Amino acid sequence: MATPGIATLSVLTGIMLVGVVVWVLRVENWRSYTPAGDSGFGGARDHGHEHKPPGVIRWLTTVDHKDIGLLYGTFAVLSFAWGGVAVLLMRFELINPATDILSNDLYNALLTSHGITMLFLFGTPILAAFSNYFIPLLIGADDMAFPRINAIAFWLLPPGALLIWGGFFVPGLEGAQTAWTMYTPLSVDQPNRGVDLMLLGLHLTGVSATMGAINFIATIVTERADDVNWATLDIFSWTVLVQSAQILFAFPLLGSAIVMLLLDRNLGTSFHAVGEGGGPMLWQHLFWFFGHPEVYILALPPMGLISYILPKFCGRKLFGFKFVVYSTLALGVLSFGVWAHHMFSTGMDPRLRASFMAVSLAVAVPSAVKTFNWMATMWNGRLRTTTPFLFCVGFIANFIIGGVTGVFEASIPVDMILHDTYHVVAHFHYVIMGAIAFAVFAGIYYWFPIYTGRMYQRKLGKWHFWLTMVGTNLTFFPMVLLGYAGMPRRYATYDVAVGPELLFTTLHRSATLGALLLAFGQIVFVWNLVQSWLEGPRVEDGDPWDLKETAQFSREWEWFERRQERDLALADGGETEGELRADGGKTDGEVSADGEVRADGGETDGEVRADGGETDGEVSTDDGDAESAGT
């Protein structure tokens, strides 16, 4: 039964949730920045959020999609750092066969924290960062369909993270030692209350992801500009739409399984008890029905990023756009039919195993379609080896290795040998770190001028790429060989009397060296990110990548160019009474893209002048005052 401390925590959590529901129900205007009541920051019904309070209060109360995107990104980078420190400690322990640095319990706790952090606290939030910031810009929307729900979805993540990591910091508790899969009966019988905190934190992250998915679907379906239809919708928005639909089916099931696990641990139910109820197999079926679609939940938006960014530096449009969209839809459906390939060694019915093997092999086809389309896009193109382009190419190379190793594991005879070895670790990390993280870095560098107004240090960006590329392969390719040599995963020591101990030691040391290179590369990345954000050269041109030359100047850069021209006009002493809208529309008094002040969306006779000259019908800004001479 639950201890008094856990019971008190449960009661306080329930009170907090009831309070949140009551507050949400009394909200009068879901689309405005203003909270209910008369004490808000302004009552305008708009999406520009120009009445933002200063300082920390702005970030605590904002519902602007761009601000929330930056909050998601900051949270994800901090989580990435935590997960990286955990894995470095584990790699140091594996340098030698015997136990040297970490106890077995601490190793297992770090292993669990690393997996859950990278998947739920880095992977999903960093993709939400891109989606929140850029989806409204790409589809011509003012903001997300439900800005307040958007904010609530983010603010569920920090308490979720604290609960997941709580076992390391709360006196008397230990970090959960269940691995990220939380297999029963281990996760049921483990008396550590850190497991309960972790499960509650996971539940919050699942609710956050589900709320975000509903919001993205509503935004993409209902908030598109008039000139954006399903045929002209960009590829990144397509992948986010399919990902959101997957989340709606997958995450609620994980939440249900977690509730059953909590009941088994604290109230003595028998959902997953050995010999009773559904038994341990029930947990595996429920978890992996979520778990394998989760891989594509993490992979589809990065595929969209690559499909969107790669053509910009090839001088041509994406090859086979429709087939890339169709393959995205196919992955979204097929991903729900392959979960049992994680369970080939459990003794399940061979006829079921064969059907899951067939679907697992078939799911490689849509991924191959994307890969060939990316390579065809580069073929005979005018390639520019910028940092975003390098990360796109690195994504493709690592994704091929991760995909090919996955095809081997989808084959029943091969999987029976490689199951639970380091081959599985290599396959998974080639996809997660070697592919998904590379796409994230490509997106960060490509859109860096938009969300900072500055340009990063290009040389450091390329250093970051090469350190990450070499480090990734030096870390994970030895694990492929470790798997074929029979090294089981999740072991803190490999001090064995018989077996290829020398080979294990050599390969583990190579992987540790690669991890150190990776870590150094990420330090370079963080330094470049922070230093360039604060002191980097300001971007004066609205087209920093010269996209107009190849007719690929897309909607978000048009928005950026208008913002640059507005800021320039204000700096020169001009006045604008309107706001810059995310959808590219013009409001009263906004500076248009051609440098004119428009009061009603049409052309006017008054042109903004910054050269000190003054003619009839023009607005002179030589002394900082806007003086209009009537025509």
pLDDT at residue 24 tops 60: no
Tell me how far CA of residue 62 lies from CA of 67, 70, 312, in angstroms.
7, 11, 32
Instruction: Give the DSSP H/E element, type plus range, for residue 620.
Output: strand 619-620
> Which structure tokens are listed for 94?
């594996």
Bridge pairing between strands 619-620 and 608-609: parallel
What's the rounded mean pLDDT across residues 42-71? 74
The confidence score (pLDDT) of residue 206 equals 95
User: Alpha-carbon distance 82 to 230, whole Å?
Assistant: 40
The confidence score (pLDDT) of residue 596 equals 41
Mean pLDDT in the chain? 85
Question: What DSSP line would sit under 440-474, residue for residue?
Answer: HHHHHHHTHHHHHSB---HHHHHHHHHHHHHHHHH
Residues 6+ apart with CB under 8 A from 271: 260, 261, 263, 264, 277, 278, 282
User: Alpha-carbon distance 123 to 133, whole Å?
Assistant: 16
The confidence score (pLDDT) of residue 11 equals 64
Tell me how far CA of residue 228 lies from CA of 65, 139, 160, 329, 450, in angstroms.
19, 6, 36, 19, 22
Q: At what angle do helices 279-309 and 124-139 cross, to 10 degrees?
A: 40
What percent of the chain has a predicted confidence (pLDDT) above 70? 82
Please indicate whether residue 344 or residue 586 has the higher confidence score (pLDDT).
344
**357 contacts 293 by C-beta, under 8 angstroms:** no
User: Alpha-carbon distance 214 to 360, whole Å?
Assistant: 28
pLDDT at residue 629 tops 50: no
Second-level CATH architecture of 64-535: Up-down Bundle (1.20)
Please indicate whether residue 24 or residue 309 has the higher confidence score (pLDDT).
309
Closest by CA to 212, choosing from 68, 323, 44, 73, is 68
- Tell me the pLDDT band of 22, cut-offs 50, 70 and 90: low
pLDDT at residue 340 tops 80: yes
User: Alpha-carbon distance 571 to 453, whole Å?
Assistant: 15
pLDDT at residue 209 tops 50: yes
User: Alpha-carbon distance 546 to 473, whole Å?
Assistant: 33
What's the rounded mean pLDDT across residues 553-565? 91
pLDDT at residue 553 tops 80: yes
- The residue type found at 374 is W
Domain regions of the chain by residue span: 64-535, 554-603
Q: At what angle do helices 124-139 and 438-446 cross, to 10 degrees?
A: 40
| Exposed e or buried b per residue across 47-56, where buried means at least 16 C-beta atoms within 10 angstroms of its C-beta | bbbeebeeee
pLDDT at residue 576 tops 70: no
User: Alpha-carbon distance 127 to 436, whole Å?
Assistant: 10
The confidence score (pLDDT) of residue 32 equals 45
> Which structure tokens are listed for 277?
């109820």
Residues of the chain by 3-state class (helix, strand, coil), percent to 5: 65, 5, 30
Please indicate whether residue 40 or residue 418 has the higher confidence score (pLDDT).
418
pTM: 0.83
- Tell me the pLDDT band of 575, cut-offs 50, 70 and 90: low
User: Alpha-carbon distance 16 to 590, whole Å?
Assistant: 43
Tell me how far CA of residue 519 lies from CA of 88, 175, 426, 465, 472, in angstroms.
8, 23, 18, 12, 10
> Which structure tokens are listed for 374?
């990316």
The confidence score (pLDDT) of residue 272 equals 87
User: Alpha-carbon distance 393 to 399, whole Å?
Assistant: 10
- Tell me the pLDDT band of 21, cut-offs 50, 70 and 90: low
The confidence score (pLDDT) of residue 161 equals 96
What count of other Cβ atoms lies within 10 Å of the Cβ of residue 199?
22
Please indicate whether residue 81 or residue 28 has the higher confidence score (pLDDT).
81
Closest by CA to 306, choosing from 365, 368, 236, 369, is 236
The confidence score (pLDDT) of residue 8 equals 61
User: Alpha-carbon distance 488 to 217, whole Å?
Assistant: 41
The confidence score (pLDDT) of residue 587 equals 46
Question: What DSSP line would sit under 58-102, residue for residue?
Answer: HHHH---HHHHHHHHHHHHHHHHHHHHHHHHHHHHHTTSSS--SS
pLDDT at residue 189 tops 60: yes
pLDDT at residue 577 tops 50: no
User: Alpha-carbon distance 559 to 585, whole Å?
Assistant: 9
DSSP 587: -
User: Alpha-carbon distance 34 to 43, whole Å?
Assistant: 6
**29 contacts 35 by C-beta, under 8 angstroms:** no
pLDDT at residue 248 tops 70: yes
- Tell me the pLDDT band of 6, cut-offs 50, 70 and 90: low
73-87, 89-103, 392-406, 602-616: which range is least confident on average?
602-616
Please indicate whether residue 278 or residue 321 has the higher confidence score (pLDDT).
321
User: For residue 608, what are the β-bridge partners?
Assistant: 619
Residues 6+ apart with CB under 8 A from 360: 338, 341, 410
User: For residue 398, what are the β-bridge partners?
Assistant: none
The confidence score (pLDDT) of residue 349 equals 87
CA quadruple 44, 50, 51, 56: dihedral sign: positive
What's the rounded mean pLDDT across residues 401-413? 94
What's the rounded mean pLDDT across residues 383-411? 95
435: phi > 0 → left, psi -120 to 50 → alpha, else beta; which? alpha
pLDDT at residue 29 tops 90: no
- The residue type found at 522 is Q
pLDDT at residue 613 tops 70: no
pLDDT at residue 282 tops 70: yes
353-389 tens-digit pLDDT? 999 999 999 999 999 999 999 999 999 899 999 999 9
Starting at the earlier edge strand, list the strands of the sheet with 627-628. Answer: 608-609, 619-620, 627-628
Give the distance, in angstroms, between the CA of residue 336 and the centroid of all CA atoms in the same chain. Answer: 20
Closest by CA to 303, choosing from 235, 249, 248, 251, is 235
